[in-house]
Amino acid sequence: MASARQARGLYGERRAAEWYARQGYEVVARNWRAGRSGELDLVVRRGRTVVFCEVKARATDAYGVAEAVTPAKQARIRRLAAAFLAEHDLGSVDLRFDVVCVTGTRLEVIEAAF
């Protein structure tokens, strides 16, 4: 059912944004789209560090969670990050790519995942 999956995804993204905010990050963008190229789930910033975060929300970890961020998905996120930076003047920044796994109500942040 697509609506349950969408609700789970929104829940995961909200939980991830809240976690980053508690760590002192500013949420720069949520669900930023670059046309048909794809979407960045979450972009956050603390000081010079800009984090592009892929959020994976699942009901269970039966089929893996972080493993869903394949090398092809990582390459797409990198391309989207470059497009985001070209569109937004954030100055000189350090980049990081995180994956947040939300399984049920459990949240795991994998910093510098790729």
Per the DSSP assignment, residues forming a β-bridge with 29 are: 43
Task: Count the domains in the chain.
Answer: 1
From the list 99, 104, 27, 26, the residue with the least C-alpha distance to 58 is 104
Note the pLDDT tens digit of each residue in 67-90.
Answer: 778 999 999 999 999 999 999 999
Window from 16-30, 49-63, 80-94 with minimum mean pLDDT: 49-63
* Number of H-type helices and E-type strands within the chain: 2, 5
From the list 48, 57, 68, the residue with the least C-alpha distance to 19 is 57
Mean pLDDT estimate for the chain: 90
Domain that holds residue 11: 2-110
Residue 14 has pLDDT above 50, yes or no: yes
Please give the Cα distance from 14 to 36 (Å, whole number). 23
Q: Which helix (H) or strand (E) holds 90?
A: none
Which 8-state DSSP code applies to residue 105?
T
CATH number at residue 64: 3.40.1350.10
